[in-house]
Chain A
Amino acid sequence: MSFIEYMYALERTWFLNSSVYIIPGFNLVHLLSMGMFLGALWMVDLRLLGGVLTHRPIADVERDAHPWLVAGFLGLFLTGIPAFMQTASAQVNNPVFYTKMGILLIGLVFTFVVRRKMTQADEGRVRPIWLKLVAVVSISLWVTVATAARLIMLL
């Protein structure tokens, strides 16, 4: 089976086509998970920029937000798989899909490795300008992912 035939086969998955409400249902949970993910993300990035909870240590704000960031991402991931499968051939033929996934991978490494290390580091040891830069990069990466994601089916 060629790659595109395999994509068509994914689209014909019995479960996904067993009701017209299944894919819209996954899309709704995907959207709400995105809200949770972006909320937890922006909380920390706004703290790094000095916009919220300025009297709280950065590490505390990050530790509070982290479970919601992970939960939001898991929701996005689990609902994203069937949403991809049902439109597989259109997705793989759309350059915006590759933009989304490429930046998504960079974003994951940046958020869960770089940003996590920076926010958990002793605040006196990191110059504030670096923390602000981390926040700007983090926001830019994930807003681009969300924008590209919405554009896939529109462009």
Chain B
Amino acid sequence: MIPVIPRSIFLWLDVNLPGTIFLRESLYGYAAMLTSHAVTMGIFFGLILMMDLRLVGVGSRRSSFSELQKSLFPWQMIFMVLSSITGILLLYSQPMRYYGKAFFWMKMGAIALAGLNALAFHLTAYRSVAVWDTDLKIPAAAKFAGVASIVLWALVLMFGRLTAYEWLTYQYFDF
């Protein structure tokens, strides 16, 4: 597999980032970063899931979709920022470890696709939300966006978890 960013950049980061060795070598650094990443990511995923289940038509049937989406959005953003900060710190502490992991790059790809899916939904199916906001006759395009969002974010979590194992690790290959 060919990573998106050249190896030389990661190699440079691995050596030159200020504090990266401190983070890498500290006794509790990894445990603290990984734990806060996993917990904030779990809450983020849960709040996205609660919105998507309503979009698919199986959850939160007593609320309208736009009301649920608008009120959950700031909280989703808070937990996205928190999990991003802790995730970037993990990457910052061991750039070369993650560079060689296929699951890390698959996770980045799934995040990009999940973002594109949300964007596409807002530019298309969401425009007619007033028509289907309160009833459960949700258009197929909107339901599809909901299912795609659940699947893609679930993949993000799974690829993230799998990054911690040693499978598909190409640390010693030079691309």
Residues of A at the B interface (CB closer than 8 Å) are 24, 27-28, 31-32, 34-43, 46, 51-56, 60-61, 63-65, 68, 143, 146-147, 150-151, 154-155
Contacts and interface: CB of A to CB of B under 8 A. Distances in A.
Interface of B: 30-31, 34-36, 38-39, 42-43, 45-50, 53, 59-63, 67-68, 71-72, 75, 154, 157-158, 161-162, 165
Q: Is the interface of B mostly helix, strand, loop or mixed?
A: helix
B158 A150 contact: no
Nearest to B45: A35
Q: Is the interface of A mostly helix, strand, loop or mixed?
A: helix
B75 to A, nearest CB: 6
Contact of B50 (A27, A34, A40): A40
A42 B154 CA distance: 18
Contacts of B71: 51-54
B63 A53 contact: yes
Given A52-B71, A150-B34, A65 B60 contact: yes
Contacts of B75: 42, 46, 51-52
Contact of B162 (A24, A61, A65): A24
A47 to B, nearest CB: 9
